């Protein structure tokens, strides 16, 4: 078993190199000796379940990088070779379980997961190969052809990694024992958007998928939501059905559910406000804290995490008493460490990585606090925060800056630093959706904003060059191709 996980924003100017894995999470067969994070939860679970059956476990690489641009060819090759070398060294395997992200793109390779699986399959042609994916993946035919079982997370925000890993283990065990014969089929929904699963029509749809898994002959149903900011041919939502030796049933069910999902496209998609309208709403609110999601600068989707469009908007309109974060700015962190807590400084904050970062903001600030080694929860996992600095500007403006690119998942990112969010009129978070559940508990209101940036949620404007026609760029992507539907 192994984990290889990053989600590639092909529009980013930041390469993903080995340093990106080293600074986030890189272990060589030892990931299960420490507490789980989102992408190693599966390894913990698989080890426990396999050892309970008396199986011998070979644990290989666990490599996770915060999303950025294409992974360099040298880095990708080195990581994949570690997995294949470990597999060869183990003398082969009966069952191979991989936690991959599903949207990794390297220099010269658009479908990294398909490539990994092809190389693993070549070493162990008869093994049962099971794959767990983040649902923000590009599901490709190569991935289906080279594996036996693929299961995606169902929940966004992701809090079901262990549950899905458990299902995958069950099915892989049964397939290996010859009790079932998994056959996969997928359907291209021709949609690019983001789908929060916790409420409304999307909640009902996920529940419906889970219910359909009980149908005779159906083993598993996944919706690959897709990852919008990847310029690859297979970008977009795919409905994936695994049947027990029933290809027609898998194809029929995938098409049926995929068409049902397309019919719900307005209800299940996100509808963020433009920046100006969002600030109007925030200004009109009499009760705090109003939480503003800076959707365009989610480092979890490969954006730099240092954009200033929202900060500048708040300052220019004279908002008081707000907390905002987390700005990725290692230069500011270094200057603050050199100056020390309690120092008054003039700092140039954010706006450094590229055009999608906007212009930097110059502010006189007090360095209130510096902390290293903190984490924030995402589901059951604890995600690192790097070195964090709390800056206080005039008008009770609190700014969190750090040296490790990460989105905001949880209020504890602010609270551990000493910032009391209940006292704030406004809190802004650089995140798309993962913050939603934990912040809903402290927010009077949540407003999602279509800010500019590397993860701008204006999906009709994505500069994709390889994709099929998709909604919302065209109103009926199926008609555009001159046919009612086609299987992927
Ligand atoms: Zn995801």
pLDDT value at residue 487: 44
Q: 414 C-alpha vs ligand 1 centroid, how far in Å?
A: 23
477, part of any domain: no
d(CA 365, ligand 1 centre) in Å: 35
Q: Please report whether residue 486 resides in a domain.
A: no
485 assigned to some structural domain? no
Is the same domain home to 261 and 284? no
> Does residue 200 belong to any structural domain of this protein?
yes
What does 204-271 look like in DSSP terms, one character per residue? Answer: HHHHHHHHHTTSTTEEEEEEE---TT--STT-S-EEEEEEES-HHHHHHHHHHHHHHHHHTHHHHS--
78 within domain boundaries: yes
Cα–Cα distance measured from residue 12 to residue 347, given in angstroms and rounded to the nearest whole number: 25
* Ligand 1 centroid distance, CA of 223 (Å): 12
Claim to verify: residue 250 and residue 282 sit in the same structural domain: no
Ligand 1 centroid–CA 64 distance in Å is 13
Residues 170 and 25 in one domain: yes
- Is 284 found in the same domain as 213? no
Identify whether residues 140 and 62 lie together within a single domain.
yes
Q: What is the DSSP string of 336-355?
A: HHHH-TT-EEEEEES--SSG
Angle, CA 277 vertex, CA 274 and CA 280 arms, to 5° = 150
How crowded is the C-beta side of 144, counted as CA atoms within 13 Å? Answer: 22
Query: Quick one: 145 and 180 in the same domain?
Result: yes
Q: Which of 220, 237, 268 is the C-terminal boundary of a domain?
A: 268
Q: Which residues place a Cβ less than 5 A from the ion ligand 1?
A: 134, 136
Question: 249, 268, 287 — which closes off a domain?
Answer: 268
- 10 Å CB burial of residue 214 (0-12, 13-18, 19+) is exposed
> Are residues 213 and 296 both part of a single domain?
no
Answer whether residue 472 is part of any domain: no
Q: How many CB atoms lie within 10 A of CB 244?
A: 19
What residues contact residue 286 under an 8 Å CB cut-off, 6+ apart? none
How far is ligand 1, taken at its centre, from the CA of residue 346, in Å?
Answer: 37
Q: Compute the distance from residue 399 Cα to the ligand 1 centre, in Å.
A: 26
User: 259 and 396 in one domain?
Assistant: no
Distance 136 CA to ligand 1 centre (A): 5
Q: Which domain holds residue 371?
A: 275-456
Give the pLDDT confidence score for residue 483 in this predicted structure. Answer: 45
Written as tens digits, the pLDDT of the chain (488 aa) is: 999 999 999 999 999 999 999 999 999 999 999 999 999 999 999 999 999 999 999 999 999 999 999 999 999 999 999 999 999 999 989 999 999 999 999 999 999 999 999 999 999 999 999 999 999 999 999 999 999 999 999 999 899 999 999 999 999 999 999 999 999 999 999 999 999 998 999 999 999 999 999 999 999 999 999 999 999 999 999 999 999 999 999 999 999 999 999 999 999 998 999 999 999 999 999 998 999 999 999 999 999 999 999 999 999 999 999 999 999 999 999 999 999 999 999 999 999 999 999 999 999 999 999 999 999 998 878 889 999 999 999 999 999 999 999 999 999 999 999 999 999 999 999 999 899 999 999 999 999 999 999 999 999 999 999 999 999 999 999 986 544 444 44
Q: Is residue 483 part of a domain?
A: no
C-alpha torsion 176→180→181→185, nearest 10: -120
CA of 397 to the centre of ligand 1 (A): 31
Would 478 be classed as within a structural domain? no
Could you report how far apart the first and last alpha carbons of the chain are, in Å?
A: 28
Distance 436 CA to ligand 1 centre (A): 14
Residues 56 and 124 in one domain: yes
Which residues have C-beta within 8 Å of that of residue 211, sequence separation ≥ 6?
A: none
What angle (nearest 5°) sits at the alpha carbon of residue 475, between those of residues 472 and 478? 105
How far apart CA 385 and CA 404 sit, in angstroms, is 6
**137 C-alpha vs ligand 1 centroid, how far in Å?**
8
What is the predicted pLDDT for the residue at 481? 54
Domain-ending residue, one of 245, 268, 291 = 268
Q: What angle do CA 360, 364, 367 make, to 5 degrees?
A: 100
* 261 and 320 both lie in a single domain: no
When divided into structural domains, the chain yields a total of 2
Q: What is the length of the chain?
A: 488
- The pTM for the full model equals 0.93
pLDDT reported for residue 480: 60
């Amino acid at each position: 078993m192994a984990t290889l996980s990053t989600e590639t924003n092909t529009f980013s100017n930041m390469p993903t190199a080995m340093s990106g894995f080293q600074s986030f999470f890189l272990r060589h067969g030892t990931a299960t000796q420490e507490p789980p994070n989102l992408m190693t939860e599966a390894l913990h679970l698989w080890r426990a379940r396999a050892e309970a059956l008396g199986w011998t476990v070979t644990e290989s690489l666990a490599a996770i990088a915060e999303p950025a641009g294409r992974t360099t060819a040298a880095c990708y090759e080195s990581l994949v070779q570690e997995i294949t070398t470990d597999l060869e060294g183990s003398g082969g395997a009966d069952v191979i379980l991989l936690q991959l992200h599903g949207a990794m793109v390297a220099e010269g390779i658009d479908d990294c997961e398909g490539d990994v699986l092809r190389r693993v399959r070549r070493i162990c042609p008869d093994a049962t190969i099971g794959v767990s994916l983040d649902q923000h993946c590009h599901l490709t035919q190569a991935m289906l052809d080279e594996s036996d079982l693929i299961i995606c997370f169902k929940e966004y925000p992701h809090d079901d990694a262990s549950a899905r890993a458990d299902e995958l283990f069950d099915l892989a065990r049964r397939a290996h024992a010859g009790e079932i014969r998994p056959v996969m089929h997928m359907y291209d929904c021709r949609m690019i958007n983001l789908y929060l699963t916790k409420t409304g029509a999307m909640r009902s749809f996920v529940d419906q998928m889970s219910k359909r898994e009980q149908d005779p002959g159906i083993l598993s149903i996944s919706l690959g939501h897709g990852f919008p900011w990847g310029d690859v041919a297979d970008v977009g939502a795919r409905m994936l059905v695994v049947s027990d030796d029933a290809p027609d049933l898998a194809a029929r069910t995938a098409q049926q559910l995929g068409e049902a999902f397309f019919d719900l496209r307005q209800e299940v998609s996100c509808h963020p406000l433009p920046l100006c309208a969002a600030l109007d709403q925030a200004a009109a609110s009499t009760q705090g804290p109003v939480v503003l999601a800076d959707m365009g600068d989610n480092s979890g989707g490969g954006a730099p995490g240092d954009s200033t469009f929202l900060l500048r908007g708040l300052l220019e309109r004279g908002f008081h008493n707000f907390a905002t974060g987390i700005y990725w700015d290692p230069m500011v962190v270094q200057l603050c460490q050199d100056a020390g807590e309690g120092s008054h400084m003039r700092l140039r904050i954010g706006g450094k990585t590229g055009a999608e970062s906007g212009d930097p903001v110059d502010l006189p600030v007090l360095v209130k606090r510096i902390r290293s080694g903190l984490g924030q929860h995402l589901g059951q996992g604890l995600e690192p925060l790097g070195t964090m600095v709390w800056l206080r500007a005039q008008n009770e403006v609190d700014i969190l800056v750090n040296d490790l690119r990460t989105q905001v998942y949880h209020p504890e990112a602010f609270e551990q630093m000493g910032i009391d969010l209940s006292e704030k009129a406004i809190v802004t978070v650089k995140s798309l959706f993962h913050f939603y559940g934990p912040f809903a508990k402290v927010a009077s209101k949540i407003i999602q904003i279509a800010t500019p940036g590397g993860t701008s949620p204006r999906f009709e404007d994505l500069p994709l060059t390889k994709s099929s026609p998709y909604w919302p760029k065209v109103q009926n992507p199926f008609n555009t191709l001159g046919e009612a539907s086609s299987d992927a």
